[in-house]
Structures are given as C-alpha cells and as structure tokens.
Amino acid sequence: MAVKLLLENAHVEGIRYYEAYRRTGGYRSVEKALKMTPEAIVEEVKKSGLRGRGGAGFPAGMKWSFIAKPEGVPRHLVCNADESEPGTFKDRYLMEFLPHLLIEGLIVSSFALGSNATYIYIRGEYAWIPDILEHAIDEAKANGWLGKNILGTGFDCEIYVQRGAGAYICGEETALIESLEGKRGNPRIKPPFPAVKGVWDRPTVVNNVETLAAVVPIINMGGDEYAKIGVGRSTGTKLISACGNINKPGVYEIDMTISVEEFIYSDEYCGGIPNGKKLKACIPGGSSVPILPANLLLKTAKGETRYMNYESLSDGGFATGSMMGSGGFIVLDEDQCVVRNTLTLARFYRHESCGQCSPCREGTGWMEKILKNIEYGKGKMSDIDLLWDIQRKIEGNTICPLGDAAAWPVAAAIRHFRDEFEWHVLNPEESQRRNYGLAHYADAREIVAA
C-alpha cells in the first residue's frame, strides 16, 4: 500500500470543513511548529529534502533560507496557486477538497518565514475556490489558528486570497509578484531575487500549493522521517494529475518509488488505456516537458525501468528522457496525432507569452503558424528544420522560463516523432483524416490495456 501524506483523509466525509479536518488530526503541525523556533522549522524542511512542487523542483528549505531579514521590513509568503500548466490540476484538487491542509501548511510556513500577511494567488478561472479557501480561513480564524497572537505565542498572521485574471505567465514567481501588485504580469529580471526584493519591495518567498501543504506532514513526522519516503533526492510523496487517454484520470499521490508502467496500468492509478488502445506517447510532467514515445517512457535508453521520480524521469536528459515537472501526466493513445497535440501546445504558449522579450513573443507565434500549416497539410519538409531552428534559438535565451517551456515540447516532438511530421508533409490530403498511427514508437512488449 502506497504511503499517503497529503490525500490520506481526502475521502473523509466533510473534510473540507474544520470539524472533520481537526478530528482527523488537522492543525497538529501548527501546535508543534509554534513551539519551535522559525529557524528550526526551516531546518526540518531542509532535512526533509522537499523540492518545489510547482515544476522547477528547487529545494524548498534552501529557498526559505535565502529570505532576507532587514530590520523593520515586513516579509511575505505568497502561495502560488496559479496552476496553469496544461495537464496540471493537482493544486486545484488540494484547495477544493482539502483547503484546511493548505491553510495549515501556510500558517506553519508563515511562522517559519516571519510573514504576518500571507497571500494565496490563485488563477482567476478557479473562480469558486476562493470561497472555499476563505471559508476555511474564517473557520481557522474562529478557532484561533489565525489572526492575532496565535496560540498565545504573539505571532500574528492573516491569509488573503487574491484571484488572478487569466495569464499562465503569472505562475512564474516574479510575474506573479507583479500581478499581485496590480500590474501586468511581465516577469522581472533577476537579480534582485524575490527573497531580497519581492512584493512591494519586501523580502518574499513564493511557493507552490503542494509544496506548502507538504510542510504539514514534514513537521508532524519530522524532516528526517519524511526524507526516508521516496528515493534519492525525490523525497516524500508527489501529487500527480493524470489525464489524456487513460481510464481513470484524476489526482494521485505517489511515493515516487513506483514505475511509470505501474502508474499507467495499475488500477490503483490510471487504470490503463481505454478501449484496448495502445500507448503511443506521454508527457509526464506538464505540457512543457519533453514528450516521450512509449518505448522511452516505460524504459530508459539503457533499458532500465523508468520510475515516477525526479531522477528517473529525467534519465537520459532531453535526448531520451523527460522531466517530473509539475506532475501533469498526459497520456496519448495510438489514435492521437503528435503534430496536432504539439500545435495545441504551441498555440497555448503563444497565447500565454507576455510579449516582453522577442524570442518568445515572435518565436511562439511563428512556431504555431508553421505547425498549423504542417497539421493542415500545407507544410514543407524545410518547415520541420525551420521549427527546430526556431525552438533551439528560443531555448535558454528568454527573460523567464516560458521560452523554454514553449521550445521543449516542439523540440521533443520533432526529436522523437520526426517521421510523423514528415508524413504530414508527404500526405497532405490524409493528414487531417487519418492518424499516422503507432509506427515504431510503441513499447516493444506490446502492452495493451489490462
């Protein structure tokens, strides 16, 4: 039985509300943490090996230790709930069904960082969730977990929910800060880093929802215990939001020791591919990470089993591997067209580019147009090389990581499915009507739905 730290009580009746949450052991970590020093909490988080769950995987404890503490200047914790990476909907699940878990994590983290006013920046489209969160905040406040002088420790904390308004870029922490200040979501150039000058010029830590929720079990069980779960530097548990052509789309908590194959085919998780179709490809960590054909997804290039963790998913680098990313797991069955899928992603990134720096602003639009032509049978062979050339020059050369996020899916699609692109060019009439099919990408063992 897999370890569950976050979703353990997800199915308890009424867990969305305080009473049931508290009854199942909620807010214990606050009681414990407020007796510790902030430094000791940061130390526990460091020991836990918790890595940022938003996509970049940066060690959370380390990020916390960077926060500047100038005399007399307030500090802020900002919870990044601007979950917008296609394929990712795990934070929504947490906030919608376990709001108190997030609030609990926020209180502990705010105490550790010295934030008396903590903000949850939630994507604007999740329009009904602020009500849920604010209700939970009110309940927590009514029960003394928030507000003035919490548990008599002298620590004051308020949590506010701010809605975004539809901009993927605001998931990038400096763009999020701009947006929180009521401005256009243009990423800032670092340095200065938010830990020194963030929102309103004050030291700021921006963490993902899941990261902050994970602080709760870390405090409850201790950092060392938490680090024992999982494997290598992939400690603890990870929420995976699975979607695409699978029998059981949804949010799963895994302990990062299970294999990709098990995750896709076991009934505990995705439950296999519907209608007996074969697995063609998968984007394992949110739309920006490289797509992998089935053969490279289930086994690494060296022929070893691939596991659902940071290290194993990136085994082989971008040549034959991918990334854990945000945990948005998108499965494509044999009927799916990689060109079309890549086109929708290119369109997404063009739409979400903030328009600040040239490679991303102009490059994403151009890539979308080329992909559209190829998909609709108007492409040329040279277009494939042109696409490759454009994405290569975008990667690594933009102000914020959105450029990379836009370049990688295109690069990986061409890298692994070049013949599918070529087939589109060579069969303009058929490219719309018929799928290129499985070709040689499927797993050699011909795995089919159970």
- Under the binding rule (CB under 8 A), the answer on residue 256 touching other proteins is no
- Of 23, 35, 148, 183, the residue at the interface with other proteins (CB under 8 A) is 183
Count the site residues for other proteins by CB under 8 A: 86
In whole angstroms, give the CA distance from residue 184 to residue 83: 18
- Of 114, 124, 377, 428, the residue at the interface with other proteins (CB under 8 A) is 124
How are beta strands 279-283 and 292-293 bridged, if at all? antiparallel
Whose Cβ is closer to other proteins: residue 36's or residue 449's?
A: 449
Yes or no: say if 324 and 90 are a contact pair by the CB < 8 Å rule: no
Q: What are phi and psi of 282, to 5 degrees?
A: -155, 140
- Under the binding rule (CB under 8 A), the answer on residue 341 touching other proteins is yes
- Under the binding rule (CB under 8 A), the answer on residue 354 touching other proteins is yes
Whose Cβ is closer to other proteins: residue 170's or residue 229's?
A: 170
How are beta strands 234-235 and 155-163 bridged, if at all? unpaired
In whole angstroms, give the CA distance from residue 158 to residue 128: 21
Site for other proteins, residues 134 to 173, rule: CB under 8 A: 158, 160, 162-168
- Of 117, 231, 301, 449, the residue at the interface with other proteins (CB under 8 A) is 117
- Of 249, 377, 428, 437, the residue at the interface with other proteins (CB under 8 A) is 249
Site for other proteins, residues 262 to 321, rule: CB under 8 A: 283, 287
**Residue 250 CB, nearest approach to other proteins (Å):** 5
Residue where the block lists tokens 């414990």: 32
What's the length of the chain? 450
**Residue 318 CB, nearest approach to other proteins (Å):** 17
Q: Cβ contacts of residue 323 below 8 Å, gap of 6+?
A: 284, 285, 289, 290, 310, 313, 314
Site for other proteins, residues 193 to 212, rule: CB under 8 A: 196-197, 200-201
How are beta strands 250-254 and 279-283 bridged, if at all? unpaired
- Under the binding rule (CB under 8 A), the answer on residue 180 touching other proteins is yes
Whose Cβ is closer to other proteins: residue 34's or residue 367's?
A: 367
Beta bridge partners of 77: 205
Site for other proteins, residues 381 to 400, rule: CB under 8 A: 386, 389-390, 393, 396-399
Three-state secondary structure of 380-420 = CHHHHHHHHHHHHHHCCCCCCCHHHHHHHHHHHHHHHHHHH
Q: What are phi and psi of 354, to 5 degrees?
A: -75, -20
CA 367 from chain centre, in angstroms, equals 24
- Under the binding rule (CB under 8 A), the answer on residue 356 touching other proteins is yes
209-221 helix and 99-113 helix, angle to the nearest 10 degrees: 80
Residue 27 to residues 89, 102, 113, 123, 259: CA-CA distances in angstroms? 25, 10, 18, 26, 33
Site for other proteins, residues 2 to 61, rule: CB under 8 A: none
- Under the binding rule (CB under 8 A), the answer on residue 445 touching other proteins is no
- Under the binding rule (CB under 8 A), the answer on residue 80 touching other proteins is no
- Of 273, 313, 324, 332, the residue at the interface with other proteins (CB under 8 A) is 332
Site for other proteins, residues 84 to 113, rule: CB under 8 A: 84-89, 92
**Residue 169 CB, nearest approach to other proteins (Å):** 8
**Residue 215 CB, nearest approach to other proteins (Å):** 23
